[in-house]
Amino acid sequence: MTTGSADQGSRFLDAQLHLLDRQVLDVAGIPVAVVDDLELSDVPAGGELPVDTPPPVITALLSGPVLGTRIFGGRPPKSRRHRTPWTAVSKVGVVISLAIPGETTDLTWTERWVRDHVIARIPGGRHDPERKQNDGSTSKGGGS
Amino acid sequence: MRKVLGLALGILTAIGGFLDIGDLVTNAVVGSRFGLSLGWVVVVGVIGICVFAQMAGRVAAVSGRATFELIRERLGPRVAVLNLGASFLINLMTLTAEVGGVALAIQLITSVSYLLWVPFAAVAVWLVIWRVRFTIMENVAGLVGLCLIGFAVALFLLNPDWSDLGRQAVQGVSTGTEKVSTYWFYAVALFGAAMTPYEVFFFSSGAVEEGWTVKDLAQSRANVLVGFPLGGALSLAIAGCAAVVLLPQLIAVTALSQVMLPVAEAGGKILLAFIILGVVAATFGAALETTLSAGYTIAQFFGWPWGKFRPPAKAARFHLLMIVCLILGIGTLLTGVDPITVTEISVVFSAVALPLTYLPILIVANDPEYMGEHVNGRTLNGIALVYMVIILIASIAAIPLLIITGAGQ
């Protein structure tokens, strides 16, 4: 499989080695998820394929319950997939970087739910423990 | 000057942070039953933890990646999920033991049952994780934990027959009246206590928390290579105290108060107070480390945002998970299970899980994609491979020995 991202030119990627189980970071470098599975475009099922059938391409990164199917086998229904479109990927390196904020993807809904319903409601939940340091690694907006 | 201070601080915290309830109890039990004849295991264990802790620290500093992210990337989801399950359960057991240790130590001061202190201890752990800055948390616990030097002081005050202690230490395998299988059971337990996997999870994730880079490598190496051996020396002092006072009287350690009996005999109330303070700090520090490690392992496996450097709301699942773990710990302790038993079992199971933790670190430390020019040298790989063999043997032998000896009875 090749990827044509502008900043890398064209290079071969092994889905197993370079994509699956890699950490995904959003545009601000905040962890989003790990790539639990990949979604490929459909090829016509059954029978011999016509010669000019386009090869399947990666359409999305999947994460969440789909992990269970990689460990135990099976396949989740399409409607239950938590996906981030492949077009959002900006760079594939030791980690996979997205060009969009993680907040906007399906993959982070549990994080947002836990934050809004539990953690942010406990006093001090938005307190930044490291705010006296200004090394830039601290809260990225919305500290308190 | 600042550098020297930083170095001294790092080393001192490493000494204080090395000891936890597992080391305290196991060393005292072993000292009271076998004298110093198992001292060699502490030496082997300390060298092992030095080798792998500095490796994990280097991987974290160079690649910015903590151990469990790499375990999954390298081993795939099936093996990683097994590894995660085992590490997490053992870590939870250690966490329970540490919280129990804090409560037991406070019981010694207050004479109020430890069961009453368990919830307070756990809430205090949570509050520190919720509010206090990472470096402050680590340094305070480590420095106050230095009070455990009192065990070395006590050993000198007891004025033992040093040549006799020395003979016990060098004569190697000597079981006295105990069975051979019991001797080896405690060898595995001591090894597990010295090399507890959470120390590596915590060390590598802590390096990411503190934002280490290649520049900090020298400092981290010094912390580990000086601090951990000195911590190991304190372990030996604990075993030595027990060997001098408890072994001749045939008192086998089954409670935390007995661990401190030799100190009370040697140094009286003041030294005892000093030691109890040290035990509270050491177990509290370890409770913090195990709680954080529980969060680190799961969050890194699933790729969640993690770390104390983020406000809790920015690492919500990570914080919720730690709260749940502390509640599970409280629940377990309130059933009335003896925290010392939990400790003894947790160090044995730590030994079982050792290969799962240390093999991936060794693999990644040799991977130029992550490490660039900082991959392991040949000598280090040689030593690490020897240790992988020892670790594997300890891991395989642990459960059969546990069953044969009835947990060392």
A25-31 mean pLDDT: 91
Percent of chain B topping pLDDT 70:
98
CA distances from residue B376 to B192, B193, B367, B383 in whole angstroms, order as listed: 24, 26, 9, 11
Residue A129 has pLDDT above 80, yes or no: no
CB contact (8 A) between residue A33 and residue B320? no
Confidence of residue A131 (pLDDT cuts 50, 70, 90): low
Scored b (16 or more CB within 10 A) or e, B167-204 reads ebbeeeeeeeebeebbbbbbbbbbbbbbbbbbbbbbbb
Residue appearing with tokens 């597990």: B192
Confidence of residue B409 (pLDDT cuts 50, 70, 90): confident
B190-199 mean pLDDT: 88
The most confident of the ranges A69-73, B23-27, B356-360 is B23-27
pLDDT tens digits for B150-192?
999 999 999 888 888 888 888 766 666 778 888 999 999 999 9
The confidence score (pLDDT) of residue B203 equals: 84
Residue B39 has pLDDT above 60, yes or no: yes
The most confident of the ranges A74-78, A89-93, A120-124, B237-241 is B237-241
Least confident of A24-38, A82-96, A123-137, B177-191: A123-137
Residue appearing with tokens 């004569």: B171
Per residue, the 3-state secondary structure of chain B, as one string, reads CHHHHHHHHHHHHHHHHHCCHHHHHHHHHHHHHHCCCCHHHHHHHHHHHHHHHHHHHHHHHHHCCCHHHHHHHHHHHHHHHHHHHHHHHHHHHHHHHHHHHHHHHHHHHHCCCHHHHHHHHHHHHHHHHHHCCHHHHHHHHHHHHHHHHHHHHHHHHCCCCHHHHHHHHHCCCCCCCCCHHHHHHHHHHHHHHHCCHHHHHHHHHHHHHCCCCHHHHHHHHHHHHHHHHHHHHHHHHHHHHHHHHCCCCCCCCCCHHHHHHHHHHHHHHHHHHHHHHHHHHHHHHHHHHHHHHHHHHHHHHHCCCCCCCCCHHHHHHHHHHHHHHHHHHHHHHHCCCCHHHHHHHHHHHHHHHHHHHHHHHHHHCCCHHHHHHHCCCHHHHHHHHHHHHHHHHHHHHHHHHHHHCCCCC
Which residues in chain A are closer than 8 Å to B132, comparing Cβ atoms?
A: 129
Q: Are B282 and B148 contacting, i.e. CB atoms less than 8 angstroms apart?
A: yes
Q: Is the dihedral of CA B230, B195, B322, B61 positive or negative?
A: positive
Residue A136 has pLDDT above 60, yes or no: no
Amino acid at A11: R
The confidence score (pLDDT) of residue B335 equals: 95
Please report, for chain B, the start and end positions of each structural domain, with discontinuous segments joined by +. Answer: 2-404
Of B302, B311, B370, the CB nearest to A127: B311
Residue A140 has pLDDT above 70, yes or no: no
The confidence score (pLDDT) of residue B1 equals: 66
From the candidate CATH numbers 3.30.230.10, 2.30.30.240, 3.50.30.10, 2.40.50.140, the one assigned to the domain spanning A2-43+53-121: 2.30.30.240
The rounded distance, in Å, linking the Cα atoms of B147 and B71 is 36
Residue B382 has pLDDT above 90, yes or no: yes
- What tokens does A141 get? 């907006």
Of B73, B133, B319, the CB nearest to A22: B73
Distance from CA of B206 to the nearest CA of A (A): 14
Residue B104 has pLDDT above 70, yes or no: yes
Distance from CA of B123 to the nearest CA of A (A): 14
pLDDT tens digits for B129-153?
998 888 888 888 888 888 999 999 9
A50-73 mean pLDDT: 85
Residue of B82, B314, B323 to mutate, interface with A, max A Cβ within 10 Å: B314
pLDDT tens digits for B42-87?
999 999 999 998 898 898 888 888 888 888 888 888 888 988 998 8
The rounded distance, in Å, linking the Cα atoms of B2 and B25 is 37
The confidence score (pLDDT) of residue A27 equals: 92
The superfamily (CATH) of domain B2-404 is Amino acid/polyamine transporter I (1.20.1740.10)
For chain B, the C-alpha Rg in angstroms (whole number) is 20
Please report, for chain A, the start and end positions of each structural domain, with discontinuous segments joined by +. Answer: 2-43+53-121
Write out residues 59-88 of A within 8 Å (CB-CB) of B. 63, 67, 70-71
CB atoms within 10 A of CB B328: 15
B319-341 mean pLDDT: 95
| Burial zone of A57 (CB within 10 Å; 0-12 exposed, 13-18 middle, 19+ buried) | exposed
The confidence score (pLDDT) of residue B381 equals: 94
Amino acid at B29: V
Residue of A nearest to B210 (CA): A137
The rounded distance, in Å, linking the Cα atoms of B214 and B207 is 11
pLDDT tens digits for B273-298?
999 999 999 999 999 999 999 999 99
A92 touches chain B (CB under 8 A): no
Long-range contacts of B84-88 (CB under 8 A, 24+ apart): B84/B297, B84/B298, B84/B301, B86/B352, B86/B353, B86/B356, B87/B197, B87/B201, B87/B297, B87/B353, B87/B356, B87/B357, B88/B294, B88/B297, B88/B298
Residue of B nearest to A71 (CA): B78
The confidence score (pLDDT) of residue B124 equals: 96
A34 touches chain B (CB under 8 A): yes
CB contact (8 A) between residue B134 and residue A130? yes
Confidence of residue A80 (pLDDT cuts 50, 70, 90): confident
